[in-house]
């Protein structure tokens, strides 16, 4: 049973149920027979249960989760989440705590060995007074999204294992569960990207001059400017290719995504964007994602957070929020058009020609 007024709950363990029944039966027999030994057993049994309740209440009252550390996970994969636990009691240590990340509050009289609908769990064997430490929780796969807070069920049956005391707490932190990467698309896109840009470094044009050093080859010395001068006054031609320094602009038709009829297709399209972002990240290229309203987000981290925070399928028609880049785009970008069926390379474009493919409805 969970009591919202004090944010704590009480549940009997299986040994606790047996002990309570035994004490109750012993009390009935003692009353009917007048046997002193049974009265003594009754008093000891009730005292044991009472002491167990008092000690477990003191422990659960002073035990807290102070938050969880920043972490990035992927949809469909288990992971370890680091949480910070604290014992606020001034002088008493605590022992045997279980921590469950839960989806809803249990309300049964007897708390099951593992509460239903949990994300994961971790245990604390002991924690000194006025101390805190970081422990790892083994988490099951979670839905895509950003989690700034998670509810935890904290439980202990210290000291005798007769009574489960538990409470619900909400801890703050920063957890991002990214869309999954599509393996086949990832390999095909990476291979196609490498093949497409393999020869771009040869497309270079003269950029400027710089002083010649002894480590430089004489191949690119500008002899018109250097002939007849001491070696220290020679100048070297420097070449640069604007095309070779291009970034990648990710496009998709957002209106098609909003019109999808199944959650599987909806999530698949988001996963396609994440997969492309991973390929570009490995290539160390500037990455830009164009939104449905014509604004854009720059950088892998910002784009990943946006993809994780896109509303779930049931809420897809709510207003989307996304981080807009406040800096102007510069340079040249290679378009990469993405859809549920795959991808298609576009042309090299300048920032002025960037326009949205589809708009939200």
- Reported as a single tens digit per residue, the pLDDT across 252-265 is 998 888 888 899 99
Alpha carbons 192 and 185: distance in angstroms, whole number: 10
User: How far is it, in rounded angstroms, from Cα 135 to Cα 125?
Assistant: 11
The label of the residue with tokens 């996304």 reads: 322
Question: Hey, which of 28-37, 57-66, 292-301 has the most confident mean pLDDT?
Answer: 57-66
First-residue to last-residue Cα distance in the chain: 47
- The 3-state DSSP class for residue 93 equals coil
The pLDDT mean for the chain works out to 81
pLDDT recorded at residue 80: 93
* pLDDT at residue 27 greater than cutoff 50: yes
CA distance 120 to 112: 15
Cα 63 from Cα 265, distance rounded (Å): 44
Q: Is the pLDDT of residue 231 over 80?
A: no
* Of 307, 322, 182, 300, the residue nearest 248 (C-alpha): 300
More confident of the two residues 335 and 12: 335
Look up residue 318 and give its DSSP letter.
Answer: S
- The whole-angstrom separation of Cα 13 and Cα 54 is 16
Confidence at residue 215, expressed as pLDDT on a 0 to 100 scale: 59
Q: What are phi and psi of 42, to 5 degrees?
A: -60, -45
Residue bearing the bigger pLDDT, 172 or 51: 172
pTM: 0.73
Confidence of residue 149 (pLDDT cuts 50, 70, 90): very high
For residue 95, pLDDT over 50 is answered with: yes
């Amino acid at each position: 049973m969970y009591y919202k007024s004090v944010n704590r709950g009480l549940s009997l363990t299986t040994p606790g149920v047996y002990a309570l029944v035994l004490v109750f039966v012993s009390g009935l027999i003692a009353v009917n027979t007048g046997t002193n030994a049974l009265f003594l057993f009754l008093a000891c049994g009730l005292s044991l249960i009472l002491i167990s309740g008092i000690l477990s209440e003191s422990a659960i009252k002073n035990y807290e989760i102070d938050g969880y550390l920043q972490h990035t996970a992927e949809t469909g994969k288990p992971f370890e989440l680091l949480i910070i636990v604290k014992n606020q009691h001034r002088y008493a240590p605590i022992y045997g705590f279980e921590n469950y990340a839960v989806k809803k509050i249990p309300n049964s009289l007897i708390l099951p060995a593992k509460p239903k609908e949990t994300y994961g769990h971790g245990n604390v064997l002991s924690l000194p007074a006025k101390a805190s430490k970081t422990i790892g929780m083994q988490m099951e796969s979670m839905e895509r999204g950003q989690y700034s807070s998670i509810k935890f069920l904290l439980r202990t049956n210290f000291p005798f294992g007769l009574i489960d005391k538990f409470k619900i707490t909400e801890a703050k932190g920063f957890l991002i569960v990214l869309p999954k990467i599509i393996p086949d698309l990832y390999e095909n896109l990476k291979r196609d990207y490498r093949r497409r840009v393999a020869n771009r470094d040869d497309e270079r044009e003269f950029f400027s001059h710089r002083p010649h050093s002894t480590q430089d080859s004489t191949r690119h010395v500008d002899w018109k400017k250097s002939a007849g001068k001491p070696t220290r006054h020679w100048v070297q031609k420097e070449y640069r290719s604007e095309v070779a320094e291009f970034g990648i602009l990710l496009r998709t038709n957002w209106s098609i995504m909003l019109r999808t009829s199944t959650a599987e297709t909806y999530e698949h399209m988001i996963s396609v964007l994440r997969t492309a972002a991973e390929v570009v990240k490995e290539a160390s290229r500037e990455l830009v994602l164009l939104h449905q309203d014509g604004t854009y987000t720059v950088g892998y981290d910002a784009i990943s957070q946006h993809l994780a925070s896109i509303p779930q399928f049931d809420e897809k028609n709510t207003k989307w929020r996304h981080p807009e880049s406040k800096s102007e785009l510069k340079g040249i970008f290679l378009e990469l058009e993405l859809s549920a069926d795959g991808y298609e390379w576009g042309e090299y474009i300048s920032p002025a020609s960037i326009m949205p493919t589809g708009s939200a409805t």
